[in-house]
Amino acid sequence: MIEPISAAGINVLPNITKPQTTNAMDFSQMLGEGVGKLDTSLKVADQQLRAMAAGKEVAVHDVMISMEEARMNLMFMVEVRNRCVEAYQELMRMQL
């Protein structure tokens, strides 16, 4: 166990040896939630577009908003994928 630095008996680095427990998500959970959100937004946009094409009373601005939200989510996930691929390629180029 690492002892904290102390000056004249005063602990200047409190609780550095105790790990803090947080409810942080790991990367795979975050990625899974992102894919789930993307899938949901794409389905909503598709349903609204089909309803409008079928002649049901759907506000045009709601369809456009859901389509734009789906597009933005898709672009975000594509960028996340690109960054992951770049990071993987960078790791593969590293010499050990």
Q: How much is the pLDDT for 95? A: 85
Reported as a single tens digit per residue, the pLDDT across 36-82 is 999 999 999 999 999 999 999 999 999 999 999 999 999 999 999 99
pLDDT value, residue 53: 94
Does the pLDDT of residue 26 top 70, yes or no? yes
How would you label 45-70 residue by residue, b for 16+ Cβ within 10 Å and e otherwise? Answer: beebbeebeeeeebeeeebeebbeeb
Domain boundaries, the chain: 24-93
In this predicted structure, the answer to whether residue 20 has a pLDDT above a threshold of 80 is no
